[in-house]
Amino acid sequence: MNAPRLLVTGGAGFIGGAIVSAALERGWRVRVLDSLRSDVHGALPVVDPRVDVIVGDVTDPGVVAVALREVDLVCHQAAKVGLGVDFFDAPDYVRSNEVGTAVLLAAMTAAGIDRLVLASSMVVYGEGSFRGSRGPARPGPRRGADLTAGVYDPVDEVTGERLQPALTTEEDPLDPRNVYAATKLAQEYLASAWARATGGRVAALRYHNVYGPGMPQNTPYAGVASLFRSALERGEAPRVFEDGAQRRDFVHVADIASANLAALDWTADSAASTFRAFNVGSGTVHTIGDMAEALSRASGGPDPVITGEFRLGDVRHITASSERIRTELGWAPTVTFERGVAEFATAPLRAAVRR
């Protein structure tokens, strides 16, 4: 039997590139569709010569139609990521993420391709789940006045007590708190509608805080691990917002790649007209301050600085259970926080992007 032909949109990027490498190791035939945007790629990335590369935008129906020729399954990673600089970024987020996904799904329908893995994000939940004396709680957006006063943790609006963070499951309410989060949830809704309309099969992977070799540097759209690593590369102390106690699940990019392959396998075995969301995390909770301290220590750089600064739209705590993907897809992470951060502290980053 011939090896499957996989299209990875955004396959020249940080996560997409790791998925491409993992698929090649399996002996799959891989095609990449990537726009090579200058605000994502500081320089032209090096792509394995075994990969068929198409340079173009996922919002272009003609380019996407060409990219889907003789393809069996699709891994959709192309997206504008991160919280963004300000609301003027909103049209670009919507075009890149929502329009791009709609164009891809329409082209997949025309091509008769019915298997998709979608890169989603834990940001679709908004704040994570909490518990108080009155039981489970999902607090609303934090107020600027509270953040200015250094009150970072959500409280019960009735009792005033500080709520305790809990693990979020795929069944918990969805509450995107910024433009990026809204577009990631819109991608899920589009993919779910496509599955119902066409009999397609979709696994939506809600990534947690992904880090690892080859992250982009010096970009306002990168995650905190990249920003900390970029600062240390310049000889500067990582600047940690709020008090550094924000809880996150940092998951290595190699584990994200293996989760994508497990999800692609699942789409081959699942029933027709299926949409299923899966949290993808390491299963261990660390704070943003933990990441900054570990990177500084591993690189021999200056200690982090706790700034007290904040960004409206950031959430305080978001850590989720990855039990569903472990149970249903048989996936488990293999890179510990300690090993992953030690490697990442000295691993090469992508060239700095142009502002």
Q: Are 130 and 165 in contact (CB under 8 A)?
A: yes
Nearest to 251 by CA among 214, 285, 202: 285
Angstrom CA distances, 135 to 151, 156, 163, 164, 317, stand at 22, 10, 10, 10, 17
Alpha-carbon distance of 15 to 249, in angstroms, equals: 16
Which amino acid belongs to residue 94?
V
Three-state secondary structure call for residue 284: coil
Quick one: residue 218, left, alpha or beta (phi over 0 = left, psi -120 to 50 = alpha)? left
Helix (H) or strand (E) holding 61, with range, is helix 61-67
Neighbouring CB atoms inside 10 A of 113's CB total 19
Q: Indicate the DSSP class of residue 280.
A: E
Give Cα 157 to chain centroid, integer Å: 31
List of residues 6+ apart from 102 with CB closer than 8 A: 190
Catalytic residue among 93, 125, 152, 180: 180
Contact 344/213 with Cβ under 8 angstroms? yes
Active site residue 221: no
Active site members: 180
